Amino acid sequence: MQAVVFDMDGTLTDSEQEWDVVRRGLAEADRLAWPEEATKAMMGMSTPEWSAYLVETVGLFGSAEEVARRTIDAMADAYREGRIPVLHGAVDAVNRMAEIAPLAVASSSPRVLIEAGLGLLGVRDKVAVVVSTEEVARGKPHPDGFLAACDALRVDPAATLAIEDSTNGLKSALAAGMRVVAVPPRFHPPAPDVLARAHAVIDDLDALTVDLVQSLFT
């Protein structure tokens, strides 16, 4: 194994529900009904993708850029106000993995929110590379973000481990050719057929042990 790449939202921080609360709040403010499929559809999308979805599919008022800014500002407020919990075992898991391999984060969040999340965890110094999918051509489920992280670390994706929670995130890491550990969340767990393709499935990050990781590469 040459490196470990973590997702952020839903994997290290329990932020997926807050994203949903913020987006639904924007729709409610514009007096719009929330489409049943919208929450799952946007998981893993890059900022340009989900902001366009909110305008074109949900019907939010304003341009995609304006909707993105309203959403990101509200999420930044949530971090500042301490409304984003750290997931159980996240800090220890990052520290364990940092002892055996270089680390990266490949997330669909904008960089400002990734940095806020790493600051909340207190592990910014452990992470060598940060890639936001708004900085690559396509968001998850496409592999672009994970491949960019591997490229920045100068490692082979096939010799790199991805830690993910969502359907689109798992698809993204698998499409990049990585070994994948899934940590299914309570909030919108991944599709069973996609979860079955993960190389390991764990209940929480306490189970992301050195022995488990090494076993996936033998």
Q: Encoding tokens for residue 172?
A: 């993204």
Predicted TM-score (pTM) of the model is 0.89
* CATH number of the domain where residue 66 is located: 1.10.150.240
The tens digit of pLDDT for each residue in 116-175 reads 999 999 999 999 999 998 889 998 999 999 999 999 999 999 999 999 999 999 999 999
Say if residue 142 is in the same domain as residue 60: no
Number of structural domains (the chain) is 2
Collect all residues with Cβ–Cβ distance below 8 Å to 169 and sequence separation of at least 6: 7, 10, 11, 43, 44, 108, 140, 141, 190
Residues 199 and 112 both lie in one domain: yes
One domain, residues 37 and 145: no
* Average pLDDT score, the chain: 95
Helix, coil or strand: residue 186 = coil
Same domain, 57 and 161: no
Position 46 confidence tier, pLDDT thresholds 50, 70, 90:
confident
* Domain housing 143: 3-14+84-216
Q: Give the CATH number, domain containing residue 126.
A: 3.40.50.1000
Torsion of CA 116, 145, 160, 99, to 10 degrees: -10
Q: SS3 breakdown of the chain: % helix, strand, coil, rounded to 5?
A: 50, 10, 40
Question: What is the pLDDT, as a whole number, of residue 133?
Answer: 81
Q: Give the list of residues 6+ apart from residue 170 with CB closer than 8 angstroms, or none.
A: 164, 180, 182, 190, 194, 195, 197, 198
Q: Helix (H, G, I), strand (E, B), or coil: what is residue 147?
A: helix
Q: How many helices (H) and strands (E) does the chain have?
A: 10, 6
pLDDT of residue 69: 96
DSSP string over 105-136: EEESS-HHHHHHHHHHHT-GGG-SEEEEGGGS
Domain co-membership, 72 together with 89: no
Q: Which amino acid does the sequence have at 176?
A: A
Q: Are residues 177 and 191 in the same domain?
A: yes
107 and 167, same domain (yes or no): yes
Cα–Cα dist 209/190, whole Å: 22
pLDDT digits (tens, 9 = 90+) for 172-210: 999 999 999 999 987 788 999 999 999 999 999 999 999
CA distance 174 to 181: 10
Domain termination site, one of 34, 50, 81: 81
Of the given ranges (44-53, 101-110, 141-150), which has the lowest mean pLDDT? 44-53
Reported confidence tier of residue 2, pLDDT bands at 50, 70, 90 = very high
